[in-house]
Amino acid sequence: MKRCFVTSSNDEPANVPSLLAMGTFSDERGLLWHLNEFNVRDWVRMYLISNSSDSPSRGWHGHVHERKAFMAVSGEFEVSLVHKSFWDLPDGQVQVETFHLTASKPSLLIVPGGYANRLTQLKRDSRALVLSDSSLEKSKADDIRFPLSRWGR
């Protein structure tokens, strides 16, 4: 089941995933994509992920407290999410939420704490930008791993 909530800012952290669509501006110089309403003050780390062709999926990786944000900066990704209320249930009872991120139509997926994620590369040489609201030290203390096969694929 897919839930998608479009919001205009991140002033109040949501307790459900939200997708921020980027705005555009164009003139004779070209096209500019922006998230002018997005406030970066709560984000403390960022990194890029490029999955290998031999292993196009990365996950399941969860955090009880840490918020993350995902954006495809090249290619395409599928971000699958499982809320912590489903972590101990049998696979058939688990609700997996799926979001499609593509660099050709950029958007930012904000994932609150309490979710496990799986990032699947849909096109070769794709790259995802990831933001975190936790330091690396805090993130490691809040880290929960599940086998990649836990909830499918």
Q: What is the pLDDT of residue 76?
A: 96
Residue 75 Ramachandran class (φ > 0 left, ψ -120 to 50 alpha, else beta): left
Compute the distance between CA of residue 94 and CA of residue 91 in angstroms, rounded to an integer.
5
Task: Compute and round to an integer the Cα radius of gyration of the chain.
Answer: 15
- Check residue 109 and give its pLDDT: 97
Q: Could you name the CATH architecture of 18-38+51-145?
A: Sandwich (2.60)
User: Which one is predicted more confidently, 149 or 30?
Assistant: 30
What pTM, to 2 d.p., does this model score? 0.86
Q: Which residues pair with 101 in a beta bridge?
A: 77
Dihedral angle, C-alpha 103, 104, 108, 109, nearest 10 °: -80
- Give me 132's structure tokens: 């975190």
Read off the pLDDT of residues 66-99 as tens digits, 9 standing for 90 and up. Answer: 999 999 999 999 999 999 999 988 777 888 999 9
Question: Which run of H or E residues covers position 140?
Answer: helix 136-141
Q: What is the pLDDT of residues 100-117, one digit of tens each?
A: 999 999 999 999 999 999
pLDDT confidence of residue 153: 58
Average pLDDT, the chain: 88
The residues, ordered by sequence, that sit 6+ positions from 3 with a Cβ below 8 Å of its Cβ are 16, 17, 97
The band of 119, judged by pLDDT with boundaries at 50, 70 and 90, is very high
The pLDDT of residue 23 is above 80: yes
Give the domain ranges of the chain: 18-38+51-145
What confidence score (pLDDT) does residue 91 get?
73
